[in-house]
Amino acid sequence: MYSDFVKKNYTSQASMVEYGYGQVEPNHLSAQRTAQIYAQLPAAADINVLEQGQFVKYNYAAANGGQVDFAGAGEWMLVYNEIKLYRDIQQDCEFAMVKDNYQARVYSPYDWEQPEADKQAVFLNGKDASGNTSITLGAKPATYKEATAYAANTTYYSDQGVTEVPIADADAFAAHEGTLYVVDQAAVAGNTYKFDDVTGPVDPYEIHYNEDPMHFLGNYKVRKMPENTTMVPRVFKTNVGDIFTTNTVNADFASLALGATLAPGAKGILEPAQSGDMLWQVVRKYTLADNQKAVKIMRIK
């Protein structure tokens, strides 16, 4: 039987599911009209499976740039992905977001934590990127050679011209012989050229005015998916009054009474609860399209 085949290959996290994974049949989900649908953050590295009807937190403040997990500060969001099954014989219960089935590597074509460097092709506003207003060309430092004999009125240096050494006579020279240097070629000052400023003053009437027309940004880098993450789920924000049918519930169908209330558990699976930040009420004991037992639930808190 089909159900036996599915049971051997897929295991749900929810006890109400008879075979395959949990399912969602939307009856009245306000996000389909309000556009409160989110699909920007990757599932946390320790999440291996996300089933339809599971609930998660949208943890934008996570250190890795944001992730979907079960511990964020926001409210629970309904996992409701587009079903991707590529064989005609497959039924909806075979779909869940399984980490090993996804291989996302690039999160965004632009990494905001590694911005591109500013560059300048030509400086036209009187100064360069470092704030210099001129440039000196042709300057050369002095060169030195070892002093081999004492000569009066000569300046001697040690350490290749770094430090001047006072030498008064031949005896003093002899005491430092082999460590003294004299100027071989004098330093050349070079020529200093001032940068021209060929830009005009700011004109408030010219909205496209640019004082740095040759200023541009360098190469940017792509932002990769956080380590060991591969999938980005689609989640719905739900509101009081929303209604959907699901079997992604950790409860016994036979003992679940009309009017019973459910709340997301530690892993986002609905389970019986009397209180919580979010509550769903069982309004009908029902079936899904494949005849599996399910409950129609309405958000009351």
pLDDT of residue 201: 73
Higher pLDDT, 33 or 195: 33
Asked if 294 and 256 sit in the same domain, the reply is yes
Name the residue among 29, 64, 23, 15 with its Cα closest to residue 43: 64
**Claim to verify: residue 35 and residue 95 sit in the same structural domain:** yes
Contact 297, 281 (CB under 8 A): yes
Q: pLDDT at position 212, please? A: 66
* Predicted structure pTM score: 0.71
Place of tokens 């010219």: 206
Q: Are residues 179 and 267 in the same domain?
A: no
Q: Same structural domain for residues 272 and 253?
A: yes
Higher pLDDT, 155 or 249: 249
Domain count, the chain: 2
For 202-230, what is the mean pLDDT? 81
Query: What is the mean predicted confidence (pLDDT) over 98-102?
Result: 95
Q: Of 201, 217, 233, at which residue does a domain stop?
A: 217
* Domain, as residue range, for 76: 2-112+223-299
- Whole-number pLDDT of residue 160: 64
Residues 67 and 134 in one domain: no
pLDDT at 185 (0 to 100): 87
Of 217, 237, 271, which residue sits at a domain end? Answer: 217
- Domain's final residue, options 217, 246, 274: 217
- What is the model's pLDDT at position 161? 63
Does 20 lie in the same domain as 87?
yes
Structure confidence at residue 35 (pLDDT): 96
Which of 101-110, 131-140, 239-248 has the highest mean predicted lDDT (pLDDT)? 239-248
Instruction: Share the mean pLDDT of the chain.
Output: 91
Q: Which range has the worst mean pLDDT, 63-72, 75-84, 216-225?
A: 216-225
